[in-house]
Amino acid sequence: MRNLLAVVSLCAATLVSGVAVSAQPYQGPAPAMMGGRPLPSIFIYEQAGLSGRARNLKGPVYNLQSVRFGGRARSASVVRGRWQLCTGIGYQGRCITLVPGLYQRLYGTAGQIWSARPI
């Protein structure tokens, strides 16, 4: 919960006219590591504007319904890594690539995100 609050605070402090902007350096606890590299991390939100119910993903999710979030993502905050979000299960359908930053709306997906993975 503390990590979520830190990211939400960071997101709120870096909003500029509803446009995705690069996040400021992360000031929270040290990120989890794998093989000497920080794990990728993304927060997806149920509503546009980085609001509503949120999920933090740190690895690939073939079907977001497995984390009770299928077809609900409307905005995102990428903390670390590059992420691919797709409108179909199994990384199918229309996919968008996100880099670290804030995304008030996930344009071109109609909020129908069903799978996500770091790339």
Domain CATH for 72: 2.60.20.10
Q: If residue 80 lies in a helix (H) or strand (E), which one and from where to where?
A: strand 75-80
Number of domains in the chain: 1
Confirm whether 29 is domain-assigned: no
* CA pair distance 98, 78, nearest whole angstrom: 7
pLDDT value for 20: 42
Predicted confidence at residue 39, as pLDDT, reads 86
Cβ(99)–Cβ(41) below 8 Å: no
Q: DSSP code of 16?
A: B
How do the pLDDT tens digits run along the chain, 119 residues long? 444 444 444 444 333 333 344 444 455 555 666 666 778 999 999 999 999 999 999 999 999 999 999 999 999 999 999 999 999 999 999 999 999 999 999 998 988 999 999 99
For residue 28, being part of any structural domain is answered with no
50: its two tokens: 């980085």
Residue 101 within any structural domain of the chain: yes
Q: Tell me the residue range of the domain where 99 lies.
A: 2-23+34-118
Would you tell me how many other CB atoms lie within 10 Å of the CB of residue 52?
13
The HSE-up count of residue 39 (CA atoms within 13 Å, CB side) is 13
Q: Determine, yes or no, domain membership for 48.
A: yes
Strands 115-118 and 101-103, by their bridges, are unpaired
Rounded to two decimals, what is the model's pTM?
A: 0.71
56 in any annotated domain = yes
